[in-house]
A and B are shown apart, each in its own frame.
Chain A
Amino acid sequence: MIRHAAYRRRWRPTRYLLAAMIGAALFLVVVLSSVASFAIGPLPLRATLFGLPGVGFIGAATFFGLRALHDQQATIRVRDATRAVALFVAGMFLWLAVLDVYTFTGEAGPGVASLCAIACLPTTAIGLLVVRRFDRNEKEPWRLVLVAALWGAIVSTSLVVWAESLWDLLFTATLVPGPAADTAAAYSAGIFEELAKGAALVLLYLVMRDEIDDVVDGIVYGAAVGLGFNFMESVAYMTHQYAILAPEGLGFVGAIGQWYFRQVIGLFLGHATFTALIGAGIGIARQMPRLRQRVLAIACGFLAAIAAHFAWDAWQAFVLVGSSPTQLLLANARYVVVIGPFAAVVLLLLVMGQRVEGNALRRQLQVEAATGLGAVLTDEVAVLMSPWQRFRARLAALGRGGLRGYLRLAQLQTAQLHLAMERWHRERREIDQPLAAEEALRGHVLELR
């Protein structure tokens, strides 16, 4: 059966090696930049002491967590998952120590920082819910969507702090204030923030390639990383505004203003859009047959995200900042005018991807039904291809068999769509697993019937 594996050359270990090298390189960058930052002086020792091991722990937790998802033996899976949780908690603690004790609470106090975080949680959760629903046919597992968001919130933000501080000190601060310095700062934000967020997606693509099926999944994970980053950045800006304006009794007004711009109008029109562009490039690369095309698609995604982010930040130089009605209108319009076109391209790619995916899954389900093996029946195809009809079928199952019946049918539908997706990738020769994996999936579907 192994002989029938889709790829003649089984290159998964190469991807893992590449992922390990990128992870090590990222860590090295953080080490070097934090040492340089400390030597030059823009960051206090506390940030380096707590932040650096924090990044290391989160990186290690991600490794063990992802390995746990792939482990076949239950004992090894539990061991890896336990390690991942322990490392994650340690990393979170250390990073939050920097964030809360130094970055935020030092200015606004822990109570305000907590309130800001609580205010951003529901909007970010809604964002993740919406983004996950982009994938109409095969929703991504929550655990991976949350890993992506957490990476964006914790690891990407910490990578950026050091890089942007150094850029500001060595470059932006030497330029004439105004458009030149604003443009330099916009390059910094575009390049470093998108590279830091995109690193998460590249690692996910290399380590968990089978979870990123196509451009739709790439957009979902990209937007999730962006939403996580946006969450942490919102808390930072809200507490910063609060700390500055609180002595004048305007602290909460400033924080609420930031919340509105970053968590309401900028929830999707911001980091989510930028990183979704990187995700789209990676998703397309996932299905490109040649290495050159794959590399080019990923590079295009990064370029688009960096340019979109740069355009957003650079335009600040030409928009008056203030609180008059015209200026507030301009501030709102800026989201639509600058990020709107990029968001429209993301939606276009999403719709095109959904169409390709939908056609492919329908075809695979029909072929599977025609085999007569019983995993998919002919009259199930139309139901499986419509999220609404799937939901109606589950409701009917709820009426017949209660919650148990609902959940069982949900599992069955998911497994059938997994099988169709597996067949699609195998047809395109873009899957690592041997044919035995497809047969195991089919067996799982039959068990669920």
Chain B
Amino acid sequence: MIETHDDLRPLYRVMLALALVAVLILASGFALLLKFAPPGQSSGYRAQVSGVYLYDSGSGTISGSPMTRFHRTELFAAQVEWEKLPPEMLVSARWTDSLDDEVGATEPTPAPAGSLAREKGLVPVRTSREFHANLPGEYTLTVVRYARGQPVELLASARVTVLRDP
């Protein structure tokens, strides 16, 4: 042992205590992850997103061929093939914009896949009332399955880009 007048043990002990707290924080995070993404939840099903199309909010219909880039003023909607999922399976789909805000979802959430299939299976993006048009950037569609009141499995996802120019 080095003979010295300094006692660095308190500093060392603070670091050890801090590491203990750190382990607890990281472990609680892992518990949180397991709570919201419990293992063994795979149903074996995958939802099919047949495409993202131009959308007419007046008639509630889509037109044209599938696209991955839209202008800000263009409304668009994803078509999900809900009929390929078991009709009783509780599911939902939602769009998030480049700020990660929700900008459209199936209603009600969640709903049986069978009932969504009877309603054309469209998931339109809704322009926020705060803005004149859709914000530019990447938009993400996620289709999830619910169990015991919470989303447990990602069934499908799709991404499109909204261009900056109008």
Q: Which residues of A line the B interface, CB within 8 A?
A: 107, 173-180, 183-184, 186-187, 215, 243-248, 277, 280-281, 284, 287-289, 293, 296-297, 299-301, 303-304, 306-308, 310-311, 314, 321, 345, 348-349, 352-353, 356, 359-360, 363, 427-429
* From A177, A178, A293, residue with most partner B Cβ within 10 Å: A177
A352 and B16 within 8 A (CB): no
A277 and B18 within 8 A (CB): yes
B6 and A356 within 8 A (CB): yes
- List B residues 1-56 near A (Cβ within 8 Å): 1-2, 4-8, 10-12, 14-16, 18-19, 21-23, 25-26, 29, 32-33, 35-37
Give the shortest distance, in Å, between B42 (CB) and chain A (any CB). Answer: 11
Give the shortest distance, in Å, between B148 (CB) and chain A (any CB). Answer: 13
Task: Give bound CA distance, A186 to B107, whole Å.
Answer: 30
A177 and B11 within 8 A (CB): no
A345 and B11 within 8 A (CB): no
Known: A243-B136, A247-B136, A293-B12. A321 touches B101 (CB 8 A): yes
Task: Give bound CA distance, A360 to B6, whole Å.
Answer: 7
B11 and A304 within 8 A (CB): no
A180 and B8 within 8 A (CB): no
Task: Give bound CA distance, A178 to B36, whole Å.
Answer: 8
Does B85 interact with chain A (Cβ within 8 Å)?
A: no
Give the shortest distance, in Å, between A296 (CB) and chain B (any CB). Answer: 7
A280 and B15 within 8 A (CB): yes
B37 and A360 within 8 A (CB): no
Task: Give bound CA distance, A297 to B18, whole Å.
Answer: 10
A284 and B137 within 8 A (CB): no
Number of chain B residues close to chain A: CB under 8 A: 48
Task: Give bound CA distance, A183 to B135, whole Å.
Answer: 26
Chain B residues lying within 8 Å of A359, measured Cβ to Cβ, are 5-6
Does B66 interact with chain A (Cβ within 8 Å)?
A: no
B133 and A307 within 8 A (CB): no
Task: Give bound CA distance, A306 to B37, whole Å.
Answer: 22
A186 and B166 within 8 A (CB): no
Binds A, one of B75-83, B112-120, B152-160: B152-160
Give the shortest distance, in Å, between A405 (CB) and chain B (any CB). Answer: 35
Give the shortest distance, in Å, between B153 (CB) and chain A (any CB). Answer: 7
Task: Give bound CA distance, A300 to B131, whole Å.
Answer: 47
Give 9 pairs: A residue, B residue, CB < 8 Å, sorted on A: A176-B152, A176-B154, A177-B94, A177-B96, A183-B29, A248-B132, A284-B11, A288-B8, A300-B16
Known: A177-B96, A244-B99. A281 touches B15 (CB 8 A): yes
